[in-house]
Amino acid sequence: MDTAVQHPTDTPPGDPLAGLTPAARRALDASHSVWLGPLKLDCGIELARHRVAYRTYGTLNADRSNAALICHALTMDQFVADTNPVTGKEGWWLSLVGPGRPLDISKYFVICANVLGGCMGSTGPLDINPATGGRYNLSFPMVTIRDMVNAQAQLLDHLGIESLFCVVGGSMGGMQVLQWAASYPDRVFAALPIATAARHSAQNIAFHEVGRQAIMADPGWHGGDYGAHGTVPARGLAVARMTAHITYLSESALQRKFGRNLQDRAAVGYSFDADFQVESYLHYQGKSFVERFDANAYLYITRAMDYFDLAAEYGGTLATAFRGSKTRFCVMSFTSDWLFPTHENREVVKALNAVAANVSFVEVETDKGHDAFLLDEPEMFRTLDGFLRGAANARGLK
Amino acid sequence: MDTAVQHPTDTPPGDPLAGLTPAARRALDASHSVWLGPLKLDCGIELARHRVAYRTYGTLNADRSNAALICHALTMDQFVADTNPVTGKEGWWLSLVGPGRPLDISKYFVICANVLGGCMGSTGPLDINPATGGRYNLSFPMVTIRDMVNAQAQLLDHLGIESLFCVVGGSMGGMQVLQWAASYPDRVFAALPIATAARHSAQNIAFHEVGRQAIMADPGWHGGDYGAHGTVPARGLAVARMTAHITYLSESALQRKFGRNLQDRAAVGYSFDADFQVESYLHYQGKSFVERFDANAYLYITRAMDYFDLAAEYGGTLATAFRGSKTRFCVMSFTSDWLFPTHENREVVKALNAVAANVSFVEVETDKGHDAFLLDEPEMFRTLDGFLRGAANARGLK
């Protein structure tokens, strides 16, 4: 690893992991992890050390040219293509990563790291604050999408990977892809931002704020200090998740899947029980989310998305972020995605075109809404496969 | 009032109003009110008496042919065209009702009643349950849109109004308009359902359920019995309102009004405070709603909307609801309304066309979202004005 920038990888003193929840601990134990740093954050605070928990699939080739970085979305994790140790479910992007898939791991070295601020093993509000010896909770510094990307860049330095073959991600993952392409243009051969935007819209900030208010309104939250109180803001976090989950689907998908179907009953019960299937489904989504995700991490990561405004980092002109870029871009949106609608993705394409960047744009016709990028969408995978094959040829990857 | 069906109008024994909040009491005191009943509800329960609080504007003409009934939306009230005694704000539909407006009160006798199950003076969960002597709270029977309409029909009986010149309403008000036209076709000369649907969609049920869960998760809710505990589920109700409020607007209106503008600061604060104007705006909407609305009433009325499925009342075929109707319909939708989108309104138009009803349909181009019906939309008012003039001529109203 002679090309690697050497970062200190020694573990900080004390037990920095003492605050992890059992779920976070399981995720960490099932991952590679490394202590990196220092990392200067956008908020001005410097983390002397931060831990990155990550998974890899496949083998890095001799000239280190076949690495594909996957950036995960808000509530996802590093378990892209193997069983999630917390939920027991299979990897969340098996349709993209695996044998015969667009990112075939016999050809590519696939990396995915839990984001900074997360709760699946990387440093976040569950970590011990070295200044106090207790959990960070809300004393954890605010992180941005750029901070997450800088943390990942330190991981790649550590792994000795100077240049990525590609960076891929949907939703908040797509924000990271855009940030990667802007911050490290020479390290990104191909960038695939999917169902995303170069800034978080007013409506999306609004939905996030509702979710945060629901968490903070839960008396079990205790100003973020629930660990010390032996509580969990379960109902607030469930409400936040239920609200968000509606935005991940489309009206027509909800109508098709559930319509006004009743749950285990022949007629409405004239009560506030979950008469309708869509209510039971949301309850399940809320409950299962609480079992796997940390409430404070949800606050921090939603805030990072709210703060994302790539143009603002470049004097207010998005095109400036990509000026001179040699990266090949594949931008993709979904017709029924109302959280990151096509027009937001198109703003990225316009900015890329304005600086004559190499860009393909595909709007996939689907009624599955924002979450389509996680689902089996043949047109999406044909497009990604074709784009990646072309880029691999250009890079000389066999 | 020889044409009037006589209902008992005596006040029930005891003090049935003892449970009203100060806001509900102020609303009642500023309204006409009458005790009516009995009223058999869809859930099977019969209310021996129910109180209707209502406002009227203008004068009923000699042949009782100029009455216009306005049906209000979820969180609105009877104060259509005069100062709201709770909020101190002016009437909520002054753009429709008043001198020189489509419903000019020198020509029409305008009536608006607080819905059954509400908290602005009509009987609802704040009333005293005669069986227990305490507030109904969650022992109040579930009400439906049809129950609300039947309660209004008893009010019209009491007022000696056999046939309405028109029934007008937006959103849940539009549901009542459709129910009026279906249940009492001979009593409705013209029907104007605006920004509504003949059934509540899966997505809308989902958003309502999230709001209800937020209220019920508030420890101040106490299973609905907050009055006895001296608490109010303020934070839960505020979260419910904030979520709902996002759905009343459009993404483009939020972007135009707020975008990513910051609130009283030059840069983001790297905190969970309301950095963005859209967050401050939502906080204000939540807070002011809590001051005027009762949480249990919110539960009941949202549930009534969820249960609305007019076709289901007529064997599953919406057209059957309107078969043989002589009512003139004016159906209206708004291009940017994603809560009650045009395609839902069009289903009503299709059903009306299927039975050769007299129907006009207008989709108004606006970026203001669902709430456009409450705002100054010149095209909407030109359309309503033209339709009402034509109908008035046909009815022989001068």
Number of A to B CB contacts under 8 A, please give it: 150
Asked if pLDDT for residue B134 goes beyond 60, the answer is: yes
- Overall residue count recorded for chain B in this entry: 398
Q: Are A363 and A377 within 8 A, CB to CB? A: no
* Residue B11: per-residue pLDDT: 67
Cα A373 to Cα A96: distance, rounded to the nearest angstrom: 10
Chain B residues whose beta carbon lies within 8 Å of the beta carbon of residue A299: 272
Query: Which pair of tokens denotes residue A43?
Result: 């908020």
Interchain pair A272, B299: CB under 8 A: yes
Q: How confident is the model at residue B4 (pLDDT cuts 50, 70, 90)?
A: very low
Q: What is the pLDDT of residues B357-372, one digit of tens each?
A: 999 999 999 999 999 9
Chain A residues whose beta carbon lies within 8 Å of the beta carbon of residue B238: 213, 217
Query: Buried (b) or exposed (e) across B376-396, using 16+ Cβ within 10 A?
Result: ebeebeebbbebbeebbeeee
Chain A residues whose beta carbon lies within 8 Å of the beta carbon of residue B307: 268
Q: What is the mean pLDDT of residues A80-102?
A: 95
Nearest to A212 among B210, B238, B272 (CB): B272
> What is the 3-state composition of chain B as percent helix, strand, coil, each rounded to the nearest 5?
40, 15, 45
* Residue A173: per-residue pLDDT: 98
Q: What is the mean pLDDT of residues B13-39?
A: 94
Q: How confident is the model at residue A4 (pLDDT cuts 50, 70, 90)?
A: very low
Interchain pair B138, A272: CB under 8 A: yes
Q: What is the pLDDT of residues B172-225, one digit of tens each?
A: 999 999 999 999 999 999 999 999 999 999 999 999 999 999 999 999 999 999
Q: What is the pLDDT of residues A239-290, one digit of tens each?
A: 999 999 999 999 999 999 999 999 999 999 999 999 999 999 999 999 999 9
Q: Measuring CA to CA, which residue among A118, A121, A137, A119 is closest to residue A228?
A: A137
Establish whether A371 is a catalytic residue: no
Asked if the C-beta of B316 comes within 8 angstroms of chain A's C-beta atoms, the answer is no
Residue owning tokens 């919110």: B298
Out of A171, A250, A325, A336, pick the active-site residue: A171
Asked if pLDDT for residue B5 goes beyond 60, the answer is: no
Q: Measuring CA to CA, which residue among B358, B377, B355, B354 is closest to residue B366?
A: B377
Angle (CA) B206 A376 A278, round 5°: 15
% of residues, chain A, pLDDT over 70:
97
Establish whether B370 is a catalytic residue: yes
Out of B122, B171, B250, B336, pick the active-site residue: B171
Asked if the C-beta of B339 comes within 8 angstroms of chain A's C-beta atoms, the answer is no
Residue in chain A nearest B273 by alpha carbon: A209
Q: Are A142 and A300 within 8 A, CB to CB? A: yes
Q: What is the pLDDT of residues A321-351, one digit of tens each?
A: 999 999 999 999 999 999 999 999 999 999 9
Mean pLDDT of chain B: 95
**Per-residue 3-state assignment (H helix, E strand, C coil) for chain A:** CCCCCCCCCCCCCCCCCCCCCHHHHHHHHCCEEEEECCEECCCCCEECCEEEEEEEECCCCCCCCCEEEEECCCCCCCCCCCCCCCCCCCCCCCCCECCCCCECCCCCEEEEECCCCCCCCCCCCCCECCCCCCECHHHCCCCCHHHHHHHHHHHHHHHCCCCEEEEEEECHHHHHHHHHHHHCHHHEEEEEEECCCCECCHHHHHHHHHHHHHHHHCCCCHHHCHHHHCCCCHHHHHHHHHHHHHHHCCHHHHHHHCCCCECCCCCCCCCCCCCEHHHHHHHHHHHHHHHHCCHHHHHHHHHHHHHCEHHHHCCCCHHHHHCCCCCEEEEEEECCCCCCCHHHHHHHHHHHHHCCCEEEEEEECCCCCHHHHHCCCHHHHHHHHHHHHHHHHHHCCC
Q: What is the pLDDT of residues B240-254, one digit of tens each?
A: 999 999 999 999 999
Task: Give Cα separations from B380 to A390, B71, B376 (angstroms).
Answer: 53, 17, 8
Asked if pLDDT for residue A233 goes beyond 80, the answer is: yes
Q: What is the pLDDT of residues A67-81, one digit of tens each?
A: 999 999 999 999 999
Task: Give Cα separations from A282 to A15, A119, A392, B22, B40 (angstroms).
Answer: 38, 23, 41, 35, 33
Residues with Cβ within 8 Å of A315's Cβ and at least 6 positions away in sequence, in order, are: none
DSSP three-state, residue B110: strand
Nearest to A210 among B200, B242, B268 (CB): B242
Other Cβ atoms less than 10 A from the Cβ of A62: the count is 7
DSSP three-state, residue B90: coil
DSSP three-state, residue B393: helix
Q: Which amino acid is at B312?
A: A
B36 - beta bridge partners? B50
* Residue B7: per-residue pLDDT: 45
Angle (CA) A173 A177 A182, round 5°: 145
Interchain pair B258, A202: CB under 8 A: yes
% of residues, chain A, pLDDT over 90:
94
Other Cβ atoms less than 10 A from the Cβ of A83: the count is 12
Residue in chain A nearest B281 by alpha carbon: A206
B141: left (phi over 0), alpha (psi -120 to 50) or beta: beta
Interchain pair B260, A200: CB under 8 A: yes
Establish whether A32 is a catalytic residue: no
Q: Measuring CA to CA, which residue among B34, B38, B23, B32 is closest to residue B57?
A: B32
Query: Which pair of tokens denotes residue B298?
Result: 């919110």
Nearest to B217 among A200, A205, A236 (CB): A236
Interchain pair A209, B242: CB under 8 A: yes
Q: Looking at CA atoms only, how far is residue A59 from chain B in angstroms?
A: 39
Q: What is the mean pLDDT of residues B115-140?
A: 96
Exposure of B304 in the CB half-sphere (CA atoms within 13 A): 32
Residues with Cβ within 8 Å of B152's Cβ and at least 6 positions away in sequence, in order, are: B52, B69, B71, B113, B176, B180
Asked if the C-beta of A238 comes within 8 angstroms of chain B's C-beta atoms, the answer is yes
A190 - beta bridge partners? A166, A328
Q: What is the mean pLDDT of residues B370-391?
A: 96
% of residues, chain B, pLDDT over 90:
94
A363 - beta bridge partners? A333
Asked if pLDDT for residue B25 goes beyond 70, the answer is: yes
Chain A residues whose beta carbon lies within 8 Å of the beta carbon of residue B268: 307
User: In a mutagenesis test of the B interface, which of A205, A257, A271, A285 is the best target, namely the one with the most B β-carbons within 10 Å?
Assistant: A205
B129: left (phi over 0), alpha (psi -120 to 50) or beta: beta
Chain B residues whose beta carbon lies within 8 Å of the beta carbon of residue A286: 213
B67 - beta bridge partners? B109
Hey, which residues 31-50 in chain B have their CB within 8 Å of chain A? 42-44
Q: What is the pLDDT of residues B146-170, one digit of tens each?
A: 999 999 999 999 999 999 999 999 9
Asked if pLDDT for residue B9 goes beyond 70, the answer is: no
Q: How confident is the model at residue B14 (pLDDT cuts 50, 70, 90)?
A: confident
- Delineate the domains of chain A, giving CATH numbers in brackets: 22-203+311-395 (3.40.50.1820), 206-302 (1.10.1740.110)
Nearest to B251 among A42, A201, A259 (CB): A201
Asked if the C-beta of A311 comes within 8 angstroms of chain B's C-beta atoms, the answer is no
Interchain pair A270, B242: CB under 8 A: no
Largest CA distance in chain B: 70
Mean pLDDT of chain A: 95
Phi, psi of B54, rounded to the nearest 5 degrees: -150, 160
Higher pLDDT, residue B1 or B166: B166
Asked if the C-beta of A205 comes within 8 angstroms of chain B's C-beta atoms, the answer is yes
Residue owning tokens 């909040």: B21
Dihedral angle, C-alpha A108, A109, A110, A112, nearest 10 °:
-160
Cα A224 to Cα A138: distance, rounded to the nearest angstrom: 6
Q: How confident is the model at residue B10 (pLDDT cuts 50, 70, 90)?
A: low
| Strand (E) or helix (H) holding B67 | strand B67-71
Cα A34 to Cα A53: distance, rounded to the nearest angstrom: 7
A29 - beta bridge partners? none
Asked if pLDDT for residue B6 goes beyond 90, the answer is: no
Cα B216 to Cα B237: distance, rounded to the nearest angstrom: 9
Query: Which pair of tokens denotes residue A31?
Result: 């991952």
